[in-house]
């Protein structure tokens, strides 16, 4: 259900996250400011915006046939990173061949051979990074399947194996929502972490943004905030509090539904402009110079 459908539910993690975002206020810093730059670097590549797509699955079935590649092209047009969720090998190859900078997130299949086959394919076809979900093993109905295929929980030792198997390909752990799990990812030498509650699969989940603030005090490892990003102001708050970049899901799905590729491209562009304006009026010259002291928490 959407946040609107759950507007009165205090357990709904999407509502909790929205309340947290909306409790964050910003001060302005005009003197000496000038138009900010939104370029950022990731794994040796330069991008025009830190507004990335989320690792969405089954877009063609959920939205309309061709939605996946429409979103991929929209990301490419804006110089943005394109993340992929559950995908066939052919779909990953299509996105890479279209010139997209792809990060593929692979499910923790109980058939670990399948996981490693998918990882090896990702390496061969030229994605910029790959990773694994750690947070979808136990869904709301306590089942552990995706498309009928069983999933299996991941141990700390396996995380190390996954990173080693990835070799030179950057490997990302998605679904971090605690310092404990972040420490496992750090010990495994993962190249980055996605801070996420996976659309609120657990009630009363701590807001990912709050966890990220704690993690930024412990590591300078790339961290990507996923869940609940609606506009460029949310992007700004996330980056001010430590995110390297953000992943946008529901907002881009809605843009696809309303305007297909052009709609998604326009939405990424709009969010980037909103981010740039907020950076400019708060004296942040580029994405390497965010200052958390600009953020204030509403206390009334």
Could you read off the pLDDT of 153-187 as tens digits, one per residue? 999 999 999 999 999 999 999 999 999 999 999 99
Catalytic residue among 58, 197, 198, 296: 198
Check whether 142 has a pLDDT greater than 80. Answer: no
Distance in angstroms (rounded) separating the CA atoms of residues 147 and 133: 15
- Written out in words, the top-level CATH class of the domain with range 13-25+37-294 is alpha beta
What band does 6 get if pLDDT is binned at 50, 70 and 90?
low
Domain parsing of the chain, residue ranges: 13-25+37-294
Does the active-site annotation cover 198? yes
Could you read off the pLDDT of 23-43 as tens digits, one per residue? 999 999 999 999 999 999 999
Whether 101 contacts 82, CB under 8 Å: yes
Could you read off the pLDDT of 258-299 as tens digits, one per residue? 999 999 999 999 999 999 999 999 999 999 999 999 999 998
DSSP the chain: --TTTTTT-TT-HHHHHHHHHHTEEE----TT--PPP--EEETTEEES-SEEE--B--HHHHT-TTHHHHHHHHHHHTT--EEE-S--HHHHHHHHHTT--EEEEEP-BSSHHHHHHHHHHHHHHT-SEEEEESS-SS-TTS--EETTEEB----HHHHHHHHHHHTTS-EEEEEE-SHHHHHHHHHTT-SEEEE--TTTSSTTPPPHHHHHHHHHTT--S-EEEES---SHHHHHHHHHTT-SEEEE-HHHHHHHHHHHHHHHHHHHHHHHHHHHHHHHHTT--STT---GGGEEE---
């Amino acid at each position: 259900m959407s946040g609107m459908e759950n507007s009165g539910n205090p357990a709904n993690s999407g509502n909790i996250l929205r309340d947290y975002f909306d409790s964050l206020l910003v001060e302005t810093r005009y003197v000496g400011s000038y138009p900010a730059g939104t370029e950022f670097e990731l794994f040796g590549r330069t991008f025009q915006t830190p507004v990335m797509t989320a690792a969405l699955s089954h877009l063609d079935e959920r939205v309309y046939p061709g939605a996946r590649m429409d979103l991929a092209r929209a990301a490419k047009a804006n110089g943005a990173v394109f993340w992929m969720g559950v995908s066939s090998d052919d779909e990953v190859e299509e996105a890479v061949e279209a010139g997209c900078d792809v990060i593929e997130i692979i499910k923790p299949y109980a058939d670990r051979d399948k996981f490693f086959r998918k990882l090896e394919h990702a390496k061969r076809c030229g994605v910029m990074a790959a990773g694994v979900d750690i947070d979808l093993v136990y869904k709301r109905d306590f089942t552990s399947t995706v498309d009928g295929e069983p999933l299996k929980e991941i141990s700390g030792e396996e995380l190390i194996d996954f990173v080693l198997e990835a070799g030179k390909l950057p490997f990302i752990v998605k679904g971090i929502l605690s310092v404990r799990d972040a420490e496992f990812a750090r010990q495994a030498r993962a190249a980055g972490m996605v801070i996420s509650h996976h659309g609120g699969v657990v009630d009363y989940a701590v807001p990912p943004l709050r966890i990220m603030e704690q993690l930024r005090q412990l590591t300078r490892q790339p961290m990507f905030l996923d869940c609940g990003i609606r506009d460029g102001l949310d992007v700004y708050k996330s980056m001010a509090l430590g995110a390297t970049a953000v992943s946008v899901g529901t907002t881009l799905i809605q843009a696809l539904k309303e305007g297909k590729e052009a709609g998604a491209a326009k939405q990424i562009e709009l969010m980037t402009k909103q981010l740039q304006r907020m950076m400019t009026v708060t004296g942040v010259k580029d994405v390497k110079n965010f200052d958390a002291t600009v953020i204030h928490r509403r206390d009334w």
